[in-house]
Chains A and B, each alone.
Chain A
Amino acid sequence: MAAITDNRTIALTHFTVSNRDEKPLLRISTAGSVDDGKSTLIGRLLFDTKTVWEDNLEEISKSKVNRASHGLDLSLLTDGLRAEREQGITIDVAYRYFSTPKRQFIVADTPGHEQYTRNMATGASTCDLAIILLDARKGVLEQSRRHSRIAWLLGVRHLVFAVNKMDLVDFSHEVFDEIRAHATHLLSGMDGVIADFIPLSALDGDNVVTRSERTPWYKGPSLLELLETVDPPHVAAAQPFRMSVQMVIRPHLDFRGYAGQLASGWVRVGDPIVALPSGKRSRVKRIVTFDGDLTEAFAPMSITLELEDELDIARGDLLASPSTAPRVARRLHTTMVWMSEVPLDKQKTYLLQHGTRVVPARLNGEALALNGIGAVEVETAELLPYDTYRDNRATGGFILIDTITNLTLASGLIEGEVREEEETLESFSDAPFTPAERRKIRALLAHMKRFGFSFDHEDFEQGEGI
């Protein structure tokens, strides 16, 4: 392949400037309790910004179901599953795309039912801003509290409380103020949160796209005006350099590239780097892309790094700058959002996926059940490079996977590491395993080894426990 020796260098503007009237993107999610009108609100946003295709409108006008008291049932625009339309509830997150002359938006419309909280978390995890809907007649409910907390835990720092169904409380200023005071109280303890409050009626369109004459006491923007003008999301490029190695690209003997997407920060040709958890060091020789070599790159670009030295770096390793490298630990304090019907089991070994690294892990803490949120201590089978999730959303979060069912059970946020003197977890190899678990873990380790994962923890691999 001739391209490999072609060191054509391209400018960074190749990635920062695109072709046509491009607009910045804001990813938002909606959350709240059941029947708060989330789907109707999104339907209203899509309808009033003229994003709905005419044939889709015709389709919902023909639908057998219509829950609106007058006119079109706009919630049908987002409830895409038959069961959802039949029951009038949202089961899973639906993603919608719309744009205005100022911005492009991705909206994750998430379910309100407690049963489907994990789907709400799925939608919130990739968002910059969350709209929490409150029913003006009911105020702040348990689900509003849970959703605000989960959104904040997953890294969403901007919450917009949309007090909906104001038409049913005669657009009462007092009711709105009362709910605002109650919701503000709920935010105590959420560091760095930004909150806005808007009175609206999704059904009639008050304060959704245009400001309503029926709320003369409200001086703030409409919901859409707010979404068009909020500060852009926290910029990952301003944080220290982090890149999880996804794969080693080795088309022939003269090239070994480490492919990954920058989770945060900058990297430049000549920069010293450290691979974690091994601690091996080198310097950046080339930043390779299909379009040409770069002299520098920043998050969230996907690149391939060639290093000065031939190091044993594999998928799962985290590359960082030695001066701002993350800490490395095996025992961590975390907060977990439990998403499985099967509760947390201290006797079980789980798989923990952090960046591109997957390691066996054991847990100690509250016996969290479905939708539970709580403090859990984690011990991993090998060292894990980490940031706290307050410092870095990308390297401070992980998921837990069941070794038997392969299901994603929980999301975790790293709070810090367990210090030596805190003795809590029993050792790995003492734990009893069922024969099925042993077979599964053996197969898993063999499988992971084939894909380049390394296991330093000999006890785990060969010990009596397995």
Chain B
Amino acid sequence: MTVPVLSHLRALEAESIHILRETASQFRKPVLLYSIGKDSSCLVHLARKAFFPGKIPFPLLHIDTTYEYPEMIEFRDRFTKEIGADLRVYTNDKAIQEGANPYDLGTAKCCHLLRTRGLVEGLQEGGYDAAIGGARRDEEKSRAKERVFSFRDREGRWDPRNQRPELWNLYNGKVDPGESIRVFPLSNWTEMDIWRYIELEAIPIVPLYFAQPRQVVLRGPTVIPLETNVKLLPGEKPQTVTCRMRSLGCTPCSGAIRSEADTIGKIIDELAAFRRSERENRVIDHDQDGSMELKKREGYF
């Protein structure tokens, strides 16, 4: 008998579905962290597949920093409604009332308050014991170290030097009250796999990923789309550039790339020719050496 081989994308899909089902079964109150980006879109799509013909058995949680692109919020509300998902939104209102913003505090501190603390508090408020995220190991080198089921203490902190062993596909989700597990079903996907899967499955994504002429300001090597909340620095002039986002984050911290790619097919071709990483345009990853690891230890995704 000739033994067929599952295609690479279907093998990744099957692995992710297995992880999502383990999460739904092993935890009392899991939640899917929904960031609205392309990886989150794939994650939600996989969750729909995992529990079919049932519904996704956990809510989607968006940590809204209030510095998101308006297109993202519009997409979030429409998409989650279409698929009948249970969307929850959490904002660190206290920090914002106390004046947290990237212009006065700097991006590192702002990110800590609005994303990291927002996330930790959002998870605590909901009493969630598992948080599913779309992080991939190929994104960044401290993420390359993460387990699929990654333990967090009561403060949401990661101890990278002392992770639980993880053998085969046997995931240990045992935690005591207050502790939690971050679950990464897309651990083994690469940026290219994500785009090929979006193409294969025709998964809806935020229009910001597609190239079109946009009003931007050029800040050093970074192309910053002019959206609400982006303040011009002295001497900066808006101009029109055909560009798109390769990775989505807050408006003041995510740069666009010059690109003509206005279809998924063109994005894949463009990606194959890229020589620079996806997170290069994320200002917060480069605050200092080992930036992402430090943020992750504090509770960032």
Contact = CB atoms under 8 A, between A and B. Distances in A.
A294 to B, nearest CB: 12
Contacts of B25: 246-247, 315, 356, 451
Interface string A77-98: 1111111010000011111110
A301 B14 contact: yes
B105 interface: no
A82 B188 CA distance: 23
A304 B52 contact: yes
Interface stretch (B61-69, B156-164, B204-212): B156-164
Given A19-B200, A106-B188, A235-B5, A94 B141 contact: yes
A292 to B, nearest CB: 10
List the 6 closest A-B pairs by CB distance, nearest first: A80-B141, A53-B277, A18-B7, A406-B174, A302-B17, A290-B49
Interface string B151-190: 0000000001101111111101011100000000001101
Contacts of B160: 81, 91-92
Given A92-B145, A300-B15, A255 B53 contact: yes
B165 A339 contact: yes
Interface in A299-319: 300-302, 304, 315
Interface in A314-363: 315, 339, 351, 353-356
26 contacts: A15-B7, A15-B10, A16-B5, A18-B8, A18-B196, A18-B200, A20-B199, A20-B268, A23-B8, A54-B276, A80-B140, A80-B142, A81-B161, A81-B290, A81-B293, A82-B293, A95-B137, A119-B165, A247-B25, A259-B50, A261-B14, A261-B15, A298-B3, A394-B168, A408-B164, A408-B165
Given A250-B54, A261-B18, A304-B52, A398 B175 contact: no
Nearest to B268: A20
Contacts of A451: 25-26
A168 interface: no
Contact of B53 (A3, A298, A394, A406): A3
Interface in B123-165: 137-138, 140-145, 147, 160-161, 163-165
A53 B280 contact: yes
Contact of A121 (B140, B167, B170): B167
A45 interface: no
B7 to A, nearest CB: 4
A152 to B, nearest CB: 15
B145 A251 contact: no
Given A247-B24, A301-B14, 7 more contacts: A15-B10, A16-B6, A80-B141, A237-B3, A251-B53, A261-B169, A290-B49
Contacts, number: 208
Given A78-B141, A290-B49, A356-B25, A15 B168 contact: no
Contacts of B51: 249, 259
Interface in A46-94: 53-56, 63-64, 77-83, 85, 91-94
Contacts of B15: 261, 300, 302
Contacts of B78: none
B14 A18 contact: no
A448 to B, nearest CB: 10
A207 to B, nearest CB: 26
B200 to A, nearest CB: 5
Given A94-B144, A353-B172, A259 B21 contact: yes
A249 B160 CA distance: 35
Interface of B is mostly: loop
B100 to A, nearest CB: 26
Contacts of A144: none
B50 A82 contact: no
A235 B3 contact: yes
Interface in B59-117: none
B141 A411 contact: no
B234 interface: no
B237 to A, nearest CB: 27
Contacts of A16: 4-7, 10
Given A81-B145, A393-B168, A15 B6 contact: yes
Nearest to B149: A408
A77 B138 CA distance: 12
A406 B169 CA distance: 17
Interface in A379-410: 393-394, 397-399, 401, 406-408
A22 interface: yes
A232 B4 CA distance: 12
A32 interface: no
A247 B24 CA distance: 8
Interface string A4-44: 10000000100111111011110000000000000000000
Interface string A212-246: 00000000000000000000100101100000001
Given A247-B24, A261-B14, A408 B8 contact: no
A354 B169 CA distance: 10
A18 B12 CA distance: 12
Interface in A143-159: 154
A288 B53 contact: yes
B21 A125 contact: no
